[in-house]
Structure 1
């Protein structure tokens, strides 16, 4: 079955959708892979950045509005995330613009951050503008990192076509491993 799977066709046909959906959810991994695919000329780098920016911005806007309308009821139920909520709340009060821009770059804050910001009553227009800039910077950085990772891997391995699936699985594996290590360490720190 796998030998009949044409990965180039799948990437070219569904790659931009995969980038969009992956970045709508939380997509550094898929964005890096999109950058690698752009390096391999299966996708184009600028559309990868555009789809990722749009999805990242849309996802955060939805979370912002969820926080705006349901934050008073929803956030108190997230007992296990109280330390993160407190961190974001402090950051919002001290540096509201920086918090809007940077929350997508802070580990563990990508989904919770926009909800807390929405609940804080920051102006929706201010959030939308800064969120758009943050999403564009985020998408550009991670897609470019993937593109340059593709360049490095090509120098080391030569033609990457035979290695595309192992590279994708390797990136996903590393991201999962790092996430599990961070999760385990955060659990050990909690009393």
Structure 2
């Protein structure tokens, strides 16, 4: 595939892919979308990236919550593995309650399971929605801006690298020479023993 085709694909379907990705999981695709928003080549607006990620994350977690609310107890009862995980989430919920609802999407391994299990708990739908919306907003802004900032940093580094490619070539050549000299000296010292 050509670069132009990839740019066109991202420009046309970037937001849809971001919505689906954040609905299902999220961190990686949001970081990439933030990174792409920094580059004019991909035609993504960082504000829309944040909005779409917020909507996708909120919709995915609300869906998992409602599935848990209606089918969760039966599904959890069928599997020892799920029961164990659900028990851990319930313990964390008792200990951290609102903090858990606000922050679960920031912790690897909790993102998909927690809203489902929270649906099995005695949490009002409105309370979960409000705390989930706040958490999704914080998450969308932070991860999109991290990706965007990383893109800016990388672009600056690459620009400086390209501007100074001659100096970099000399540095790499010098480093290779030092490594070769160190290896030669080591070998010479071994032979002399």
Q: Same fold (TM over 0.5)?
A: yes
1: distance between equivalents of 2:138 and 2:83? 28
Q: Residue 44 of structure 1: CA displacement?
A: 0.4
| Greater displacement, 13-22 / 68-77 | 68-77
Quote the residue 1:124 is aligned against: 125
Q: Residue 150 of structure 1: CA displacement?
A: 0.3
How has the CA–CA distance of structure 1 residues 80 and 29 changed in structure 2, closer, same or farther, with 3 Å as cutoff? same
SS at match of 2:2: helix
Quote the residue 1:25 is aligned against: 24
2: distance between equivalents of 1:11 and 1:142? 19
| Greater displacement, 68-77 / 28-37 | 68-77
| Greater displacement, 150-159 / 41-50 | 150-159
How has the CA–CA distance of structure 1 residues 6 and 74 changed in structure 2, closer, same or farther, with 3 Å as cutoff? same
Quote the residue 1:187 is aligned against: none
Quote the residue 2:15 is aligned against: 16
Once superposed, which parts of structure 1, at least 4 consecutive aligned residues long, lie more than 4 Å away? none
SS at match of 1:138: helix
Matched, 1:74 2:75: yes
Quote the residue 2:60 is aligned against: 59
2: distance between equivalents of 1:12 and 1:33? 14
Q: Superposition pairs for residues 83-162 of structure 1, below 5 Å?
A: 83-158=84-159
Q: Residue 83 of structure 1: CA displacement?
A: 4.2
Quote the residue 2:163 is aligned against: none
TM-score normalised by L of structure 2: 0.77
2: distance between equivalents of 1:4 and 1:11? 11
SS at match of 1:109: coil
Q: What are the superposed Cα offsets for residues 61-103 of structure 1, whole Å, 9 maximum, x if unpaired?
A: 0100111111111112343344432221111112221111111
1: distance between equivalents of 2:28 and 2:3? 25
Q: What are the superposed Cα offsets for residues 139-163 of structure 1, whole Å, 9 maximum, x if unpaired?
A: 111111100110121122239xxxx
SS at match of 1:103: helix
Quote the residue 1:40 is aligned against: 39
Q: Residue 8 of structure 1: CA displacement?
A: 1.6
Q: Which has the larger radius of gyration?
A: 2
What runs of 5+ residues in structure 1 fail to find an aligned partner? Answer: 160-191
1: distance between equivalents of 2:26 and 2:3? 28
